[in-house]
Amino acid sequence: MFEDDKNYKYDATIPVNANAYLTASGGKYNVPVDITKLGAFVESDCTPAVSEYTCWDGSFLNWFSARRIDASRKALVGGKLESETAFTYSGTNNSTYQYKIVANNEPEDPQFKESYSDSESLSPVLNGKIITVTSPAGREANSGNTQTTYDPYAKLSYPTGIILDNSGNTIGEIGTTRIRLVNRINWQSVTFEASYSSTPIVVAKALSYNGPDPAIVRIKDVTATGFKISLQEWPNSRGHAKESISYIVMKSGSHTLPGDFKAKAQKIETNEEYYNGCSVNKTDKETVEFVGSDFDHTPVVMAAVTTYNDPNPVHVRAWDSDKEEVKISLQEAENDTTSHSTEDVSIIAIEPGTITSNGVSLVVGTLEMDADPDYTDWYTHAFSSTLSETPTLFLAGMQTMAGDNTAAMRWKNLTDTSVDLLLEEERPVTMRRRIFPRWSAISSPYRTRSNATWR
């Protein structure tokens, strides 16, 4: 239980008192606990807001997380202590605490949810978004199996993915969804987490690899509240399994992210096409300037078609970017000799590096490889440093035009150490043996609050 008139900040460094759970060490339960589950809420003079992503109002914490047994214990004995014996809980900035109040870890009632229309004034949770409290002691958490060690604390989780600039203003978000192809196109709606006063820029790519047929992503009907998205296969394909697709949203304009990383989000209209087909060779392109961006380093560029003015399959390639501009072209099926209608192309460019914004970690970068001439071998990209957990989100797109055949990226086996990547041409492997030598990728992992514990 928390004090109603105080605010709390989540300190992710506070340890577990493992001795409290072992009778041989004076504990009550004789349960081996997972001592890697760090973190606790501590009193703070912080002011809750979306930009203060670890700050919470004590009354609000009580409202959505406390059970009747917790309130009863608070009233009768001050709360349930992890241990009645003093223990040194060393936290951030050398802070030291000796006692920890814990909530009931209830196996029979393992999960409950709450939402509040004005949660932004009391926490980092956006207004009206659902907060979920889950007990790892619940039967669903361990499938009824005996565990070597147990997580001693209940968890709270809530939608996150909001991107803030270096002044704490909301400028965008990241997210992921799963989509299945039904017939030739199957639109599903995605609603933004954040509120936008005008239509933002949206990019979604690349597809996971649950279905082997070549496929791309189409987006349409982008508004201030969301967009529609669908898989789209190239001609002569035969249906597709459900795939994961990640997206990034950003307000139109130039931005400076935490760490002084620059970003630019903009939109153009184009029908320029660039690809080498069976009976056509198109070499048209748009040169798009990063007006007002003031990049210090060449950005990684992600681009996507965001209208559906022409139903023929199409996607977009970006290449030859520098601090001033990037080239953009559409690519259709290689046996398509017609001209594609004008479409909106959304572009988001971000300087490379690791960017931490509102608890969201964006790892932005490029890599270079020689593609397998048969396009059947997957390339395993090892991340430069092991991430704290498997990324919830991954985007990838080619940054060069060393080969001009219609092609897009696919991925699979995403972990905290690596991801497998494939350059997938529009035409099947058996129909071509040409080499596409170089491509680059952007990866954007982020962590949710699912590991946040409450006390």
**Most confident segment among 293-307, 397-411, 441-455:** 293-307
Q: What is d(CA 231, CA 182) in angstroms, rounded to the nearest whole number?
A: 9
**How many angstroms separate the CA atoms of 93 and 281, rounded?**
62
Q: Are residues 347 and 242 in the same domain?
A: yes
Same domain (yes/no): 209, 291: yes
Range of the domain at 50: 7-159
In this structure, the answer to whether residues 219 and 131 fall within a common structural domain is no
Bigger pLDDT: 258 vs 442: 258
Name, of 4-13, 200-209, 274-283, the range with top average pLDDT: 200-209
pLDDT, one tens digit per residue, over 238-260 is: 667 888 899 999 999 999 999 99
Using the structure block, give the residue that is written with the tokens 């009580």: 62
Total structural domains within the chain: 2
* Secondary structure of residue 19 in the 3-state scheme: helix
How does residue 10 score in pLDDT terms, banded at 50, 70 and 90? confident
Residues 147 and 171 in one domain: no
Rg (alpha carbons) of the chain, rounded to whole number: 25
Instruction: Write down the pLDDT at residue 104.
Output: 67
Is residue 91 domain-shared with residue 220, that is, in the same domain?
no
Does 297 share its domain with 313?
yes
Query: 332 and 375: one domain?
Result: yes
* Whether the predicted model's global pTM rises above the 0.75 cut: no
Dihedral sign, Cα of residue 254, residue 257, residue 260, residue 261: negative
Beta-carbon contacts of 250 under 8 Å, excluding residues fewer than 6 positions away, are 163, 171, 172, 200, 201, 263, 265, 348
Residues 34 and 145 in one domain: yes
What whole-number distance in Å separates Cα of residue 262 and Cα of residue 278? 41
Query: Which of 27 and 160 is assigned the larger pLDDT?
Result: 160
Task: Report pLDDT for 109.
Answer: 64
- Residue 140 domain flag: yes
For residues 96 and 224, membership in a common domain is answered with no
Q: Is residue 81 part of a domain?
A: yes
Domain co-membership, 415 together with 305 = yes
* Residue-wise pLDDT tens digits, 45-98: 999 887 677 899 999 998 888 877 777 877 787 777 778 888 888 777 667 788
Q: In the structure, what pLDDT confidence band is assigned to residue 426 with cuts at 50, 70 and 90?
A: confident
Dump pLDDT digits (tens) for 182-197. 667 889 999 888 889 9
Q: Are residues 215 and 348 in the same domain?
A: yes
Q: Does 46 reside within a domain?
A: yes
Over 80: is that where the pLDDT of 451 sits? Answer: no
CA separation for the pair 266, 348 (Å, rounded): 7
- Poorest-confidence range of 208-222, 356-370, 405-419? 356-370
**Span 150-175, mean pLDDT?**
83
> Which of 139, 159, 179 represents a domain boundary (last residue)?
159
Better-scored residue on pLDDT, 369 or 290 = 290
Structure tokens at 56: 């919470």
Contacts of 144 (CB under 8 A, 6+ apart): none
The predicted pLDDT at position 329 comes to: 95
Q: What are the tokens at 427?
A: 């035409």
Question: Is pLDDT of 16 > 80?
Answer: yes
> Which of 53-62, 130-139, 301-310, 436-445 shows the highest mean pLDDT?
301-310
Cross-strand pairs, 138: none
**Tokens (6 digits) for 324:** 């001033």
Average pLDDT, the chain: 81
State residue 190's pLDDT score: 92
261 and 313 co-located in one domain: yes
User: Distance between CA atoms of 368 and 91, rounded to whole angstroms?
Assistant: 41
Instruction: Judge whether 142 lies within some domain.
Output: yes
Mean pLDDT, to the nearest integer, of 265-289?
88
The stretch 282-288 carries a mean pLDDT of 91
Grade residue 107 by pLDDT with cuts at 50, 70 and 90: low
Q: What percent of the chain has pLDDT over 70?
A: 82
